[in-house]
């Protein structure tokens, strides 16, 4: 017996040992699994890209609804084009020697072997759409507005993103200076009505021929002072001489002081056009600053160029930051893409830059619409009834929010308060049994028990009478 017992014990031990070995083995198998789990890498937001979270949306709605309102007021129709276009569209219009085309395009070859690019701007796609859809046959001018994401592979910093958003207005099919002026007025009003103080900077870069003559003169001048230029400007001398005027380096700015000014090289028609644009602006008292160095970098511009800058008034001094937007005339663009001769003009504002400025100035932006009614419930039976009542209220176009995912009444009342609801409807077990419902006035905290069947009527009386 004892031997048996001993054997038994040994057997138990062995079993235990076995079990513990098994455990150990299991553990061994589990360990790498657990380690693997903790090593799962969460994909990160790409550099220069941003999520627009719910808390930010009020700024976006504010700007988009302003765009919509002004578009209606000034007679513009909305256009949306794809974010992806043939790469060639941008190379041919923006220009090979520009920063955008040289360094900043998100371009790739797709599965079918086509060279495609995420749009860095919207003017060229709009010109393409104008031709492709035969908009020349519509009554001219065709006035279009847009809003959407653009992509430029730039060095990210405050106010400079790789995916950013623009809202823009374009007028195609009219060469009159009044078109340029009204676009500038629209850009100015857009910013003013958002609550921003802005300056319009304006210039004329003439037509292609006069600009070529000017470029030659400019290059001659800058060559004579080549040693004073930064390395980038030395390159610009051969590639894109107009951009010499844009350089932010102090030494280059000094050289610019004595550079020939493009206004002195304008052809008669461009000069006339420019004077008229300014006269129209004077007529409506939109202030502007003449900036002889404002050339804008893209190849397609001619005649009027302008930018919208934020103004901060401090001790009479105008402090400038970065441009909120810009635009100009592009009379040759449609034709350069194979369309008919279609003079045009437009501008774009950067939405992120507008938002930065709105925040900076603490401009009050309308909150998202508050619910008129919050529907609270307590207990399973009440939850069911509330689910159906919510649908009835929604169908009646009452702005209603609910706390169906919560079981505590206090938590639901807190939410109703935070959301700023005017009334809270409370359905508890008692009310379900009695066929009643409580209407709580969130302002005064007064509660009334009403007949469930009359809830809609009672609510509307309180909300709308």
How many Å apart are CA 149 and CA 98, to the nearest integer? 20
Decide if residue 151 touches ligand AMP (CB under 6 A). Answer: no
- The four Cα atoms 140, 143, 148, 149 give a dihedral, to 10 degrees, of 60
Say whether residue 85 binds ligand AMP (CB under 6 A). no
Task: Note whether 337 binds ligand AMP by CB under 6 A.
Answer: no
Q: How far apart are CA 260 and CA 266, in angstroms?
A: 12
Q: Interface with ligand AMP by CB under 6 A: which range of 1-9, 279-287, 349-357, 405-413?
A: 349-357
Structure-token pair, residue 170: 């374009």
What are the DSSP calls for 96-144, one per residue?
A: TTSHIIIII-EEEE-TTS-EEEE-S-SHHHHHHHHHHTTGGGSSSSEEE
Q: Which is nearer to ligand AMP, 233 or 294 (CB)?
A: 294
Dig out the tokens for 299 from the structure: 């190849």
Cβ-based nearer residue to ligand AMP, 295 or 323: 323
CA separation, residue 22 to residues 28, 31, 34, 35 (Å): 9, 14, 18, 20
For the bound state, the minimum distance from the C-beta of residue 154 to ligand AMP, rounded and expressed in Å, comes to: 5
330 binds ligand AMP (CB under 6 A): no
Residue 299 found at the interface with ligand AMP (CB under 6 A): no
Does 323 engage in binding with ligand AMP (CB under 6 A)? yes
Which part of the chain contacts ligand AMP (CB under 6 A), choosing from 24-32, 320-328, 409-417, 452-460? 320-328
Among 66, 92, 152, 256, binds ligand AMP (CB under 6 A): 152
* Exposure string over 423-452, b if 16+ CB within 10 A, otherwise e: bbbbbbeebbeeebbbbbebeeeeeeebeb
166 lies in the binding site for ligand AMP (CB under 6 A) = yes
**Count of all residues that appear for the chain in the document:** 465
By CB under 6 A, name the one of 125, 173, 326, 428 that touches ligand AMP: 326
50 binds ligand AMP (CB under 6 A): no
Spatial contact of 94 and 299, defined as CB atoms under 8 Å apart: yes
* The binder of ligand AMP chosen from 167, 348, 426, 459 (CB under 6 A): 348
Backbone angles phi, psi at 331, to 5 degrees: -65, -25
Which residue lies nearest ligand AMP, judged by its C-beta? 350
Contact residues for ligand AMP (CB under 6 A)? 121, 152, 154, 159-161, 164, 166, 323-326, 348, 350, 352-353
């Amino acid at each position: 017996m004892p031997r048996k017992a001993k054997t038994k014990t040994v057997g138990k031990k062995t079993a235990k040992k076995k079990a513990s070995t098994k455990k150990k083995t299991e553990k061994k198998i589990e360990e790498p699994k657990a380690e693997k789990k903790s090593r799962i890498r969460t994909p990160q937001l790409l550099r220069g890209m941003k999520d627009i979270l719910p808390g930010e949306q009020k700024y976006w709605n504010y700007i988009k609804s302003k765009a919509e309102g002004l578009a209606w007021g000034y007679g513009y129709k909305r256009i949306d084009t794809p974010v992806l276009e043939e790469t060639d569209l941008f190379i041919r219009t923006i220009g090979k020697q520009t920063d955008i085309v040289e360094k900043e395009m998100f371009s790739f070859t797709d599965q079918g072997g086509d060279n495609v690019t995420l749009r860095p701007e919207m003017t060229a796609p709009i010109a393409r759409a104008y031709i492709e859809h035969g908009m020349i046959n519509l009554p001219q001018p065709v006035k279009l507005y847009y809003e959407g994401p653009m992509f430029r592979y730039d060095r990210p910093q405050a106010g400079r993103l790789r995916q950013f958003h623009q809202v823009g207005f374009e007028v195609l099919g009219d060469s009159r200076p009044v078109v340029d002026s009204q676009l500038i007025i629209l850009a100015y009003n857009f910013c003013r009505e958002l609550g921003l103080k802005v300056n319009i900077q304006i210039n004329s870069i003439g037509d292609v021929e006069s600009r070529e003559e000017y470029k030659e003169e400019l290059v001659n001048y800058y060559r004579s002072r080549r040693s004073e230029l930064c390395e980038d400007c030395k390159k610009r001398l051969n590639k894109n001489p107009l951009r010499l005027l844009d350089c932010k380096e102090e030494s280059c700015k000094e050289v610019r002081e004595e550079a020939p000014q493009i206004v002195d090289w304008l052809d008669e028609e461009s000069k006339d056009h420019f004077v008229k644009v300014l006269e129209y602006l004077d007529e409506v008292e939109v202030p502007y600053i003449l900036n002889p160095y404002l050339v804008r970098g893209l190849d397609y511009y001619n005649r009027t160029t302008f930018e919208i800058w934020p103004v901060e008034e401090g001790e009479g001094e105008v402090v400038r930051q970065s441009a909120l937007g810009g635009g100009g005339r592009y009379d040759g663009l449609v034709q350069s893409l194979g369309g008919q001769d279609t003079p045009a003009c437009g501008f774009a504002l950067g939405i992120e830059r507008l938002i930065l400025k709105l925040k900076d100035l603490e401009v009050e932006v309308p909150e998202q619409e508050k619910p008129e009614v919050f529907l609270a419930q307590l207990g399973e039976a009440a939850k069911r009834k509330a689910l159906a009542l919510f649908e009835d209220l929604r169908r009646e176009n009452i702005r209603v929010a609910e706390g169906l995912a919560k079981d505590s009444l206090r938590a639901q009342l807190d939410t109703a308060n935070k959301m700023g609801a005017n009334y809270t409807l409370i359905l508890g077990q008692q009310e379900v049994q009695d066929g009643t419902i409580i209407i709580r006035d969130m302002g005064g905290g007064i509660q009334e028990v009403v007949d469930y069947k009359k809830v809609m009527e009672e609510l509307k009386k309180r909300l709308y009478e």
